[in-house]
Structure 1
Amino acid sequence: MSKNGFWAISLLLGFFGCANDKPALDNPSRGSIIVAADESFKPLVTQLTSAYSGIYPDTHFEIVFKPEQQAINLMLQDSARIAFVTRKLTQKEQAVLDQRKIVGAATKIATDGVALIINRSNTDSLLTMNELKSLFSGKITQWSQLKGGNQTGPITLVFDNNNSSNLEFVLNTFKVNNVRNLRIFTTRSNREVIDFVRKNPSALGFIGVNWISDGDEPLTAELSRDLRVVGVSDKANPTKRDDYYQPFQEDLGMMRYPLRRPVYVLSREAHPGLGSGLVNYVARDAGSLIIYKLGLWPSVPYNREVNLKN
């Protein structure tokens, strides 16, 4: 064999060896990916990914919980494959994927709500959207300005993070551009909001409803202890208690609770991989059942078949 022929064969072997050394792409039943999620969806995302890994033991999800914008940025920067958030990408954000020739996808999986919570010693558990608007415009600052309450002193509005989806959703709902003069206190998580409200009767907390809506989860009972969930009415002058709705399943699904919002899974996956497998699972019957169990309203309802025998 000539010297040139020897080197040609060596190069070919080296090429194929390198190709074989490339890590195999993940697929719906095997592999590991990073998932970003807004922290307000921690119970939801934890249960969905845990259930999926229970079906496919060779899958692993590293979940990073961040404020919504940071979760989206992780997905755009390819530091996460998918992201659980409350909105689709903006045109500017979509352009980031377009530049890399990535189509991307946004799949709505559920309807969620922002729950308003107060200390159990506070009897003022009914608010109108007009009253909430006045709270965020600065016209109402004291509990004594609200009807039916037993609290006095200033109202402290408590959120989980300066950049959280809960805060952004409420500010957008009431078209608030400047929070400088508002009495807003932020913690580091939805759970810390719950703890703060439990210790402070003057607080009005805002959390993702999935933190307190799973009736079968012991943690829900623990977190709900010593709290009231506020009923909200979009009527200007409600006359009865039935005019107020809480952020629980039927009122979310029937669009009666005013502070409802969608839950999306954003994906940058370019092949039929583990991210697609999880999204398909979530958007179909099995995943919908978990969403339903958590007290949210699934985008694809879980159909139960009942056989009746004579």
Structure 2
Amino acid sequence: MVDIDFIVDIFSTKMKMFRASFFILSVLWIVSCKRPEDSTSHGRVTITADESLQPMLDQVYQAYEHTFPETHFDVRYLPEHQAAAFMLKDSARLAFVTREFTAEEQKVFKSKGIKYNPQHIATDGVALLINRSNPDTLITLDQISGIFKGTIKRWGQLGSANHAEDIVLVFDNANSSNLNFIMKKFGLSDVKGLNIFSAGSNKKVIEYVKQHPNALGFIGVSWISDGEAPLTAELSQGLRVMGVAEKPNPAKEDYYQPFQDDLKWRRYPLHRKVYVISREMHSGLGSGLVNYIMRDVGSLVIEKCGLWPAKPFNREVILKKEI
């Protein structure tokens, strides 16, 4: 005769196992359906950039946040070398810089299995600023090279009989992209012995030049290139932007200033590329911002800032012929 209690016990045990299995599967399903930490349309990440790029990047990421209200970027503006290091140690998702990473920096990516893929997003320039009272508004690359190699030390050596003071070179920071670019451009290994003043930021470079007629300031052009920004108008007062010529004996038309058309056609001799470098390995918020710049209206924001986007936004105009 079949033991009914035994059968009941077996059935009860199987039901308990089924319920336990169902509970575990339900939990796994809920976990698998849980919203990821960040995506292209929501989340919070840290990005870093050289301070010379701040006016451009501020407008780009703020436009993205306005488009996707559930996103937020914590931005750290640092000297370029520190900005790169901050991202390499996984303290930031993206780095906006004006150079590609060195071989040593790329090794960090390789050691962590991250694909190194720098994206060129814009053409920028290093602008040379002088006080409005300074009559020397034109300079050649050879003359700039002479200043940094110590053969030209006074404004009078640049042809100004009425302005014979020593030239004071003004940069934002000793590790900034502006100084690094100039050193690389003119093959300098160091700047020891030069009359250099470190102001602390691009904005403070502008303020110093306004107050010192003998100063020659170096800043990222986005600080003065957005004609619609109130800050640009305020900062540009009391300044002149020097025209720079590549030829050693230039005609007047050979001098160019670091503004949009001459950046677009690479006529301004001190133009440079702006890159964004990502350590993101999933389709997250960092990828969303990069795509916004490269494939969406983010390039229009860059263009508005006075720089030239690597991939200009394609604006189509359809003309219909009325019959």
TM-score, L = length of structure 1? 0.93
Aligned-pair CA distance for 1:17: 10
| Pair 17,149 (structure 1): closer, same or farther in 2 beyond 3 Å | farther
Counterpart of 2:166 in structure 1: which amino acid?
P
CA root-mean-square deviation: 2.3
**Residues 1:84 and 2:96 aligned together:** yes
- Counting only pairs closer than 5 Å after superposition, residues 196-215 of structure 1 correspond to structure 2 as 196-215=208-227
Counterpart of 1:258 in structure 2: which amino acid?
P
Aligned to 2:145: 133
The higher radius of gyration belongs to 2
Q: Deviations over 1:214-254 (max 9, x none)?
A: 01111100000000000000001013x21100001111111
Aligned-pair CA distance for 1:83: 0.6
Aligned mates of 2:319, 2:30 — CA distance in 1: 61
Aligned to 2:231: 219
**Residues 1:250 and 2:261 aligned together:** yes
> Pick from 64, 75, 79: which aligns with 2:76?
64
Aligned-pair CA distance for 1:152: 1.9
**Residues 1:45 and 2:57 aligned together:** yes
Counterpart of 1:153 in structure 2: which amino acid?
E
> 1:104 touches 1:269 (CA, 8 Å); kept in 2?
no
Aligned mates of 1:233, 1:202 — CA distance in 2: 21
Aligned mates of 1:202, 1:270 — CA distance in 2: 49
- Counting only pairs closer than 5 Å after superposition, residues 1-310 of structure 1 correspond to structure 2 as 16=28, 24-148=36-160, 150-239=162-251, 241-310=252-321
Q: Which range is displaced more, 145-154 or 163-172? A: 145-154
| Pair 100,19 (structure 1): closer, same or farther in 2 beyond 3 Å | farther
Unaligned runs of 5+ in 2: 1-12
Aligned mates of 2:280, 2:150 — CA distance in 1: 44
Query: 3-state SS of the aligned residue for 2:73?
Result: strand
Aligned-pair CA distance for 1:180: 1.2
Unaligned runs of 5+ in 1: none
Task: List, as ranges, runs of 4+ consecutive aligned residues in structure 1 with deviation greater than 3 Å.
Answer: 15-23, 307-310
Counterpart of 2:315 in structure 1: which amino acid?
R
Query: 3-state SS of the aligned residue for 2:118?
Result: strand
